[in-house]
């Protein structure tokens, strides 16, 4: 049975994905690792949804390097340190 997610849920999930990838300090994070960490935060989605979210963020201009190897993974472009304070503020506001 499919669950309809709100826009807020989608945005929250994408912020969490960015946080997970940014906390990897330049290391590539695979989609399976992202999935496990999301599940630990009670966010349930498929690997395919994570892949779509990663591609969407990259296409939207977020400084995230997405590789399309199997399994897919991502890392934050280290030249864009402005992302860290944004994620920290988003975390504080969502609590």
Residue 69 has a pLDDT of: 77
Residue 51 has a pLDDT of: 93
Compare 35 and 68 and report the one with higher pLDDT.
35
Pick from 2, 26, 6: which is nearest to 83 by CA?
26
Residue 24 has a pLDDT of: 82
Residue 80 has a pLDDT of: 54
CB 91 within 8 A of CB 19: yes
- Eight-class DSSP state of 6: P
pLDDT (tens digit per residue) in 1-44: 445 668 888 888 998 998 899 888 778 899 999 999 999 999 99
**Two tokens at 95?**
């609590």
């Amino acid at each position: 049975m499919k669950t309809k997610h709100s826009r807020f849920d989608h945005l929250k999930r994408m912020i969490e994905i960015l946080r997970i990838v940014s906390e990897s300090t330049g290391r590539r994070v695979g989609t399976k690792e992202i999935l496990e960490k999301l599940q630990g935060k009670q966010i349930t989605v498929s690997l395919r949804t994570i892949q779509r979210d990663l591609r969407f963020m990259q296409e939207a201009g977020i400084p995230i390097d997405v590789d399309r190897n199997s399994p897919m993974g991502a890392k934050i472009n280290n030249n864009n340190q402005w992302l860290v304070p944004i994620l920290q503020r988003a975390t504080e506001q969502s609590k």
